[in-house]
Structure 1
Amino acid sequence: MKRTDLDLASRALGGSVRCVSDEFFAPCEALIQPWTPLHDKLEFGPHGKIYDGWETRRRRTPGYDWAIVALGVPGVLHEIIADTAFFTGNYPPEVSVEATWLDGSPSNEELMAADWVTVVPQSAARGNMANTYRVHNHWAFSHVRLNIFPDGGVARLRVRGTAVPDPRVLGSRIDLASLHNGGEIAECSDMFYSDARQVLYPGVARSMSEGWETARRRTAGNDYLVVTLAGPARLSYVDIDSGYFLGNAPGRVRLSGRSDEEAPWHEILPETRISSDSHNRFRLTSSETVSAVRVDVFPDGGFSRLHLMGELAEEALAEAIAHWLRLLPSTAYAKVLAGVGIAQAPVRTLTTEQLLGLAW
């Protein structure tokens, strides 16, 4: 396996199990956990032996069981591993894997109706083993479907491959909502379970507790939060990461923006359906400059992370750089200017062009 290969399905990269035929004995979410499967021989629950993996009931009708996984990062698949660790008398004797590419945030119905391509034909599998299958296909895929014949348990599904990021978002400069870049929560309708500020944290949430979650709404209206951006900016796309929000994600969202506190809100993303436990990315086509964004969720719920990608207006960027320079110690200030060939001078004498020259 090449060093560049990633487990594209891993929860650590944002992978999620979107739908499954059956999970009577053990939940499907375990399939994509990044850690090695664990096992306690003495642990039993109401449904029987507890496994760290996905396990279906014994099938008494024709057919087979399956699980559809949204890859955390779309990519070209090189190798599939169906790890049946600790499944000895209840593993599937055969498996197959299919893959597809679907843009946006497809519903379960759209996933079921997708054009699936077989990347691993129906093949033998063994119990308590990392069953490995090579993939000979050069296309990029966004989802895979693991089929097990006829039933049984699989501890982990590893989808090794080369990431193929969506190039449509590569032109965006920075996450203007990020706390690291100067974003902040200005207002929030409800923070019953967790602090809304967590959606502006860097990285990927490790559980639902690391996002924003409201109480269940029993009255009219909807919940919302307001984010002040790093500065006035033109936004290009939004990523609403609902990772780990399986039954608590909003059904729909709407985004509005405004240029300053006195200006009225104007819609930049109409009320739109989102998927649970998924990256929900939408292009923002408004050319207006905004300094704050209101995210309305319908009717309630929450999500893990909010990324508002775009580019600061030149005037705002120059002002932000000037403010930063003013806060630097004199030695550091001189070093920064010298690094771009500017003789040391008071900040107030630097031109907008010189200030913008400091930007990466």
Structure 2
Amino acid sequence: MTPGSDIPFTDLVDLAARRLGAGVVAASDESFAEKENLLVAAAPEFRPHTFGHKGQIMDGWETRRRRGSGPDRPYPAPDDHDWALVRLGAPGVVRGVVLDTAHFTGNYPPYAAVHAASVPGHPSPEELLADGVEWVELVPESPLRGDTVHEFPVAVERRFTHVRLTIRPDGGVARLRVHGVVVPDPRDLAGLTFDLAAQEHGGVAEAASDRYYSSPHNLNAPGRAAVMGEGWETRRRRDHGHDWVQLALAGAGRVRAAEIDTTHFLHNAPGWAALLGRDAASGEEWFELLPRTRLQPDTRHRFRLDGSRTATHVRLEVHPDGGVARLRLTGSLTEDGCRAVAMRWWELLPAAEALTALTEGGLDPAAAEALTAARPLGDADGRATAVRAVLGR
């Protein structure tokens, strides 16, 4: 089971977030409002009586009114529709989609559907629209309401790189969110030192003691926090406890350095912090990575760690409360961790990609086809053979 499957999907990372690198690469039409608005991080706004050359300025993606073929057929044909193609910021398994029609009241589409595809590399819009691309239904065509947040859970266990939003026949959608779990390409991580907690590599903030002011998902988001609201901040404690966040790492690894960044938290940074690690596969209890250490406000704190023990999860404890902008955990995957990441990635690929990964790794085409057809693999020998081909060793 992919990590994150037991978490409400709206609590998971938005794979279509601009800060992860997502983008709207093409749309059938954007006559009234630009397609790029779909992925804006902020909530949709509306300023009445604000008109441009094309009418009321809307904070979303809005297409022109479709018309029929003539006065006897003034309405669009039943299959007329508009679409937008979105490159996910990080490929992964989609757990749910949010379509927000905020402020679109007389101009929202009555129906929408969402499909996804896995197209490796850096495909152009023309390549994404080619006949050979397999688009898998995530959200069947569903009725929409105006000025409403629509949440659609998804139960497709496959890794995707792009999504396609289809609206019928036309209209406006304010925001698109694609929540899920990042599934990195192991060939990009094997043998390297990187941030094991980062969203873009598959790190997930699984649980937190408090998220009153802001989300713990901000802790492992890309880049630096621009303002205090882009970090994780808890309410003021009135007891003798402390707050914490638990993160699942990209895979089993050894953490060799940590950065605890309190940038922008001037009078509400924690007084102290500690880091604990745990190897869930071995069933070990939590062990100390960083002892309770004093923090300074508005400061990037860097710590060298021992790095001798394997961890799949890390727990940041802040004493007693406060805010942290970012947490970085630099390290590398263990051999077992790398193999597990490789296997999960390969088993979530479309069949054609999975087959290509094995043959490019030197496996005989007939053996590669047999392994691909047998997914998910249960026998240890088959799994070992697939992993060796994927990792080229």
TM-score between both structures, scaled by the size of structure 2 = 0.45
Bigger Rg over Cα? 1
